[in-house]
Amino acid sequence: MLIRIKMIANYRDALPPHHKHGVIELEVPEGTTVYEAISRFDIPLNDESVIVLNGLTVDMTTPLTEGDMVTAFSAIAGG
């Protein structure tokens, strides 16, 4: 199934160069979780990162469905 990965600001460096405004499409097997999808990219997967599914706070073991967007950004600084 096809999902989307969005990286914000400095995390865009972890995406392949063809991304559009920090978004790429990704083919993943059915049942892939948020954690499994995002761990394909070279970003810290600890409290330095915020990861949301379709903009919502979810458990990282949540399975993805077709068209979902997983977004990651750095929690190092506030706004």
Partner 1 sequence: MYGWHLRILRVNLTTHQVTKEDVDPKIARDYLGGRGLAIHYLYKEVDPTVDPLSPGNKLIFATGPLTATPAPTGNRYMVVTKSPLTGALAHSNSGGEFPTWMKRTGFDLYIFEGRSPEPVYLFVNEDQVEVRSAAHVWGKDTHETTDILKAETSEEARVACIGPAGENLALMAAIMNDKHRAAARSGVGAVMGSKNLKAVVAMGNKNPALHDAEAMRSISVETSKNVGADVKKGSNMRIYGTSYVPQVTNTLGILPTRNFLQGTFEHVHNVDGDALKNQYLIRHTPCYRCPLSCGRLTEVPDGPYKGKGEGPEYETISSLGTGCGVSNLAALVKANYLCNEYGMDTITTGMTIAAAMEMYEKGYIPEEVIGMPLKFGDHDAMIEMIKKMAYNEGFGKDLAQGSYRLCEKYGHPEIAVTTRKQEFPGYDPRGSQGMGLLYATSNKGASHMEGDVAYEEVFGVPVKENPLTTEGKPELVKHFEDSFALMDSSGVCVFVGIRYMFNKDRMILPQTLANMMNLSTGAEYSPEEALKAAERVYNLERMFLLKAGSTEDTLPHRMLHEPLPDGPAKGKVVELDKMLPEFYKVRGWDEKGWPTKEKLEELGLPLN
Stretch that binds partner 1, among 25-33, 34-42, 55-63 (CB under 8 A): 55-63
- Nearest distance from residue 24's CB to partner 1, in Å? 15
CA distance 60 to 70: 10
Answer for the pair 10, 75: CB distance below 8 angstroms, yes or no: no
Stretch that binds partner 1, among 27-35, 46-54, 60-68 (CB under 8 A): 46-54
- Nearest distance from residue 43's CB to partner 1, in Å? 10
